[in-house]
Amino acid sequence: MPDTAAILTFIAIVVKVVVATMILFSLPIPLTWIERKIAAHIQVRLGPWRVGPHGVLQPIADTVKLLLKEDIIPDNADKLLFWLAPLMAMVPAFAVFVVIPFGGKVSLPFIDQDISLYISDMNVGILYVLAISGLGIYGIILGGWASNSKYALLGGLRSSAQMISYEIAISFAAIGVVMMSNSLSLIDIVKSQDHGILSWNFFYLPVGPVWFAIFLIGSLAEVNRIPFDLPEDEGTLSSGFHTEYSGMKFSFFMLAEYIAMVTASVLSVVLFFGGWNSPLPWDLGMPWPIPDVLGPVWFFAKVWVFIYLFMWLRFTLPRYRYDQLMNIGWKILIPISLVTLLITGAMRIWYPGT
């Protein structure tokens, strides 16, 4: 006789996976429109305007165009790897969200069991995120190599070197958060910041802001956003690793890039800004279900701030030269992160209650 609770748990996990996948697949539609509008307002122009009111249907038109566009494969390309590369870049970007907590547990009056707003609570969640997110680089490298194009190959090599350089700094920033929270679980990291804004890891002075700055700069490099978008530098590499891609395979690379930007925003909120926690403590006698309902609202509001920041930086900062990019990673971020790691360890030893 199957266990009813186990069956319900399995069904809940499947439903969460389906819902999360559908949301992630649809995210580039509003994000591309928002990014164009942000760029337009920064540059004092209107942006998309003709397709639908204020151009809101422009991303739909772009999707139709990509679906109808001819799918070109270079004659001398490795056709199998050329097909697999976009999928290898896209799948890890989705797999990361298995452990992302969008909120805590919500109690509903018509269901006896609490509903958790996350798919899985891994006790090594931060290690899973770092490991899986690093796999997306294989899709970029294979796409550049399989295209049989010098520009695509150079873009793939740039991306691999960039990932190695900045993954170290990001990992050190994550270690700093683990030391502050005493857990590798993303759920526990958020719960350790549930005593108001001053309990957020960003305000763990003096090291919290430094860890966040390292994580933010490293994230910009990891997701290939300006000023670190050297793997797809239009000025010197045409379009870099996806120069030879068109149609839906090109859209998979763009989908992976947008989801990676959302992932970086989500992790910034979870690790440094309290996750779904309110800036104010919820021990103020507020009636049910206000705290449960507002948790995801706080979470997505914080994530939106970081998405806007990523887009804002794209149209504000110039692109670095490649030697400057490598110098920032190896000569600035890594030494600073090592020193800050020692300071964090000393603070945890000398002031264990902080």
The half-sphere exposure of 134 on its side-chain side, counting CA atoms within 13 A, is: 17
Q: What is the pLDDT of residue 247?
A: 83
User: What is the pLDDT confidence band of residue 244, given thresholds at 50, 70 and 90?
Assistant: confident
Q: What is the mean pLDDT of the chain?
A: 85
Q: Which two tokens mark 145? A: 């190599």
Q: What is the dihedral of CA 311, 315, 317, 321, to 10 degrees?
A: 100
Contacts 24+ apart (CB under 8 A), 246-249: 246/69, 246/70, 246/71, 246/72, 247/66, 247/67, 247/69, 247/70, 247/71, 247/72, 248/66, 248/67, 248/71, 249/71, 249/82, 249/83, 249/86
Q: Specify the pTM.
A: 0.90
For 287-322, the pLDDT digits (tens) are 545 556 778 888 999 999 999 999 999 888 888 888
- The whole-number pLDDT of residue 323 equals 86
pLDDT of residue 307: 93
User: What 3-state class would DSSP assign to 315?
Assistant: coil
Instruction: Name the helix (H) or strand (E) containing 105.
Output: strand 105-106
Residue 132 near residue 222, CB atoms below 8 Å: no
Contacts of 227 (CB under 8 A, 6+ apart): 220, 313, 317, 318, 319, 320
DSSP string, 288-304: TTHHHHHHHHHHHHHHH
Using alpha carbons, select from 182, 172, 258 the residue that is nearest to residue 217.
Answer: 172
pLDDT in tens, 93-105: 888 999 998 887 7
Instruction: State the pLDDT confidence band at 1, using cuts at 50, 70 and 90.
Output: very low
> In 182-222, which residue ranges form alpha helices assigned H by DSSP?
186-191, 208-222
CA atoms within 13 A on the CB side of 311: 20
